[in-house]
């Protein structure tokens, strides 16, 4: 009995071993030998490769680029006071100040940005203070910094912190809401700076780094690629808004606004401006203003004090397959001319409604944002060569661009250092308004920035200055002459179009 049991057990063992051997042989013949190795360290620098300009395969390394770039990106703190000058906190700000792009991020009323837009009330009571944070890029060793208009807009005070933790007060040189760009300056020299490169040369799929101060995390660097070019996301509400964004998947969050988007050589290719997200935080899509547009805006603000925008005078939309079929077009790409504006420069040159603009100065145009970007790099009076497709045939026209008022001339240079200290944009009052108000003339405050007027007075935009310390002023030049070299107290006298009586504002120079 015991022998039989032992014999049966041996037979079962042999059969089992044979079966396992056959199975192992089958597995080996089908898949080959499978080995799993474990190593102590992964050679990370060799994990991702790229190709240089000579076609050589090299390891992809962001460290050198990050070292070059991070020192030239600053943190900006924007402070705005409510309720301290008889002013009530706007209802929209009571819970949390919405970002200008809130509608783009998600539903209005959501708390999207946490502490990056917050209110602080002093323990002793008094006015509430709105604190906003953003980023900026040093583009000149003497303290000129590019950022977003929505970072500095309505600020009473601007504070810039450099990468080495030095802190400076900043003044606004000028802004351009139509591109959401602003130029500010701090009193410092020999600063690290970023060079601007030709953003037209970047390619979709190219590696880029985003540098800024997101979510309160200073000097943050993220990596990604250029996801698309010429994006129009309809977030700027200005009449002459220019949207031709660079899209990237490098992580961009609240606080990155105004920061740098750079290539691997450390050249500035864009200013980070917005994100597409249902929550207000990074969801894979960020947008930057191309450096070519940045360069034009900065040049204009420094040279003229205002942006000189060349205008074609056309209403356009991007051509796609549906529009091509609807309008029986011969092309499926370009900018379709819906209509011509009054005093249209394009119309004067011979361009007609129904034409499809396909090229400007040799640059191919495949959409309306691309056309906007090309024209935005020109000033009134510039001549551009515009090629259109008209019923299947191409025609070229030489167009002399207009200004926003329909003329050919540049807007008058009104930028003076003394006016930057005041923190306002001024214009000479027109004769019709002066006659209506029964005054000899004056200087109108078009826009208030961070500066003495906003910080020390409760002046509103639209105030018309008629006297400085009792001296009559009828133009911006008169205002500059009255204030240049001034020390001590200053008294401004003037009126509002919509309020009776005269108003007086005093501050110290």
Helices within 359-451 (DSSP H only) = 368-375, 417-422, 431-437
Which DSSP state fits 83? Answer: S
Instruction: For residues 367 and 455, state if they share a domain.
Output: no
- Give the 3-state secondary structure of residue 226: strand
Domain that holds residue 384: 314-400
150 is catalytic: yes
Instruction: For residues 263 and 392, state if they share a domain.
Output: no
In a domain, 51, yes or no: no
Work out the number of other CB atoms within 10 angstroms of the CB of residue 108: 10
Mean pLDDT of the chain, nearest integer: 82
Total structural domains in the chain? 3
Instruction: For residues 196 and 112, state if they share a domain.
Output: yes
In a domain, 256, yes or no: yes
In a domain, 23, yes or no: no
Domain end point (choices 340, 368, 400): 400
- pTM of the complete model beyond 0.75: no
Please identify which of the residues 99, 135, 150, 178 carries the catalytic annotation.
150
In a domain, 161, yes or no: yes
| Alpha carbons within 13 A on the beta-carbon side of 3 | 0
Band (305; pLDDT cuts 50, 70, 90): confident
Instruction: For residues 297 and 326, state if they share a domain.
Output: no
In a domain, 32, yes or no: no
Instruction: For residues 318 and 436, state if they share a domain.
Output: no
Q: What digits encode the pLDDT tens for the residues 234-266?
A: 888 777 788 899 999 999 998 999 999 999 999
d(CA 309, CA 380): 6
Which DSSP state fits 214? Answer: G
Top mean-pLDDT range of 174-178, 333-337, 458-462, 505-509? 333-337
For the ranges 249-258, 287-296, 411-420, 455-464, which has the lowest average pLDDT?
Answer: 411-420
Instruction: For residues 330 and 286, state if they share a domain.
Output: no
Band (39; pLDDT cuts 50, 70, 90): very low
Q: 491: which strand partners?
A: 506
d(CA 480, CA 338): 44
Angle at 245 between CA 242 and CA 250, to 5 degrees: 155
Residues 6+ apart with CB under 8 A from 404: 240, 309, 311
CATH classification at residue 198:
2.40.10.120
Is the CB of residue 283 less than 8 Å from the CB of residue 290? no
Q: What digits encode the pLDDT tens for the residues 377-426?
A: 999 999 999 999 999 999 999 999 998 878 888 876 555 667 777 888 88
Q: How many residues does the chain have?
A: 509
In a domain, 19, yes or no: no
Instruction: For residues 287 and 322, state if they share a domain.
Output: no
CATH classification at residue 345:
2.30.42.10
d(CA 353, CA 333): 16
Instruction: For residues 150 and 276, state if they share a domain.
Output: yes
Strand spans (E) along 202-355? 207-212, 220-231, 245-248, 260-262, 268-276, 285-290, 314-318, 335-340
Please identify which of the residues 99, 156, 176, 180 carries the catalytic annotation.
180
Helices within 235-339 (DSSP H only) = 291-303, 321-327
Strand spans (E) along 328-482? 335-340, 356-360, 363-364, 383-390, 393-400, 424-428, 443-448, 464-468, 471-472
pLDDT number for residue 91: 41
Please identify which of the residues 178, 199, 257, 291 carries the catalytic annotation.
257
pLDDT number for residue 110: 30
Q: What digits encode the pLDDT tens for the residues 310-324?
A: 999 999 999 999 999
Top mean-pLDDT range of 55-64, 94-103, 111-120? 55-64
Instruction: For residues 122 and 230, state if they share a domain.
Output: yes
Instruction: For residues 180 and 319, state if they share a domain.
Output: no
180 is catalytic: yes
Counting Cβ atoms within 10 Å, is residue 42 exposed (0-12), middle (13-18) or buried (19+)?
exposed
In a domain, 62, yes or no: no
Q: Which residue has the tokens 């620098």?
A: 45
Q: 125: which strand partners?
A: none
- Give the 3-state secondary structure of residue 321: helix
Q: Is 230 left (phi over 0), alpha (psi -120 to 50) or beta?
A: left
d(CA 148, CA 234): 16
Band (143; pLDDT cuts 50, 70, 90): very high
156 is catalytic: no
Which residue, 428, 509, 420, 507, is CA-closest to 474?
428
Which residue, 176, 210, 169, is CA-closest to 73?
210
In a domain, 61, yes or no: no
Instruction: For residues 350 and 449, state if they share a domain.
Output: no
Domain end point (choices 290, 307, 324): 307
d(CA 201, CA 290): 11
Instruction: For residues 344 and 430, state if they share a domain.
Output: no
């Amino acid at each position: 009995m015991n022998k039989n049991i032992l014999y049966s057990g041996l037979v079962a063992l042999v059969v089992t071993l044979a079966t396992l051997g056959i199975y192992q042989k089958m597995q080996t013949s089908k898949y080959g030998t499978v080995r799993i190795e474990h190593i102590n360290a992964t050679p990370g620098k060799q994990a991702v490769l790229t190709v240089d300009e000579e076609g050589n395969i090299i390891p992809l390394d962001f460290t050198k680029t990050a070292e070059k770039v991070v020192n030239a990106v600053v943190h900006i703190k924007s402070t705005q006071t409510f309720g301290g000058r008889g002013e009530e906190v706007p209802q929209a700000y009571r819970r949390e100040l919405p970002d200008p792009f809130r509608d783009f991020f998600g539903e209005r009323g959501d708390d999207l940005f946490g502490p990056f837009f917050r209110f602080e009330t002093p323990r002793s009571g008094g006015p509430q203070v709105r604190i906003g944070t953003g980023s900026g890029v040093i583009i000149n060793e003497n303290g000129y910094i590019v950022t977003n208009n929505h970072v500095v807009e309505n600020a009473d005070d601007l504070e810039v912190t450099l990468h080495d933790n030095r802190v400076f007060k900043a003044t606004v040189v000028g802004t351009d809401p139509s591109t959401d760009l602003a130029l500010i300056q701090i009193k410092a020299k020999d600063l690290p700076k970023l060079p601007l490169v030709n953003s037209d040369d970047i390619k979709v799929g190219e590696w880029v780094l985003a540098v800024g101060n997101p979510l309160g995390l200073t000097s943050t660097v993220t990596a990604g690629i250029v996801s698309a070019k010429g994006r129009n996301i309809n977030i700027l509400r200005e009449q002459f808004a220019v949207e031709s964004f660079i899209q990237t998947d490098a992580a961009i969050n609240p606080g990155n606004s105004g920061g740098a988007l750079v290539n691997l050589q450390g050249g500035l290719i864009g200013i980070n401006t917005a994100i597409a997200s249902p929550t207000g935080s990074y969801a894979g899509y960020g947008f930057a203003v191309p450096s070519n547009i940045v360069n034009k805006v900065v040049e204009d603000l420094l040279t003229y004090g205002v942006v000189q925008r060349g205008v074609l005078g056309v209403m356009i939309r991007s051509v796609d397959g549906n529009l091509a079929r609807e309008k029986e077009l011969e092309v499926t790409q370009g900018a379709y001319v819906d209509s011509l504006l009054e005093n249209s420069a394009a119309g004067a040159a011979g361009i007609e409604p129904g034409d499809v603009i396909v090229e400007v100065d040799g640059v191919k145009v495949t959409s309306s944002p691309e056309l906007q970007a090309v024209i935005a790099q020109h000033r009134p009076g510039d001549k551009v060569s515009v090629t259109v497709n008209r019923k299947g045939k191409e025609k070229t026209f030489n167009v002399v661009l207009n200004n926003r008022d329909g003329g050919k001339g540049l807007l008058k240079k009104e930028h003076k250092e003394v006016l930057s200290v005041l923190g306002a944009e001024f214009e000479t009052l027109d004769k019709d308004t002066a006659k209506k108000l029964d005054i000899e003339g004056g200087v109108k405050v078009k826009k208030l920035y961070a500066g003495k007027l906003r910080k020390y007075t409760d002046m509103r935009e639209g105030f018309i200055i008629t006297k400085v310390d009792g001296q009559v002023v009828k133009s911006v030049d008169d205002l500059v002459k009255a204030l240049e070299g001034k020390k001590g107290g200053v008294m401004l006298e003037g009126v509002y179009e919509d309020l009776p009586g005269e108003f007086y504002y005093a501050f110290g120079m």
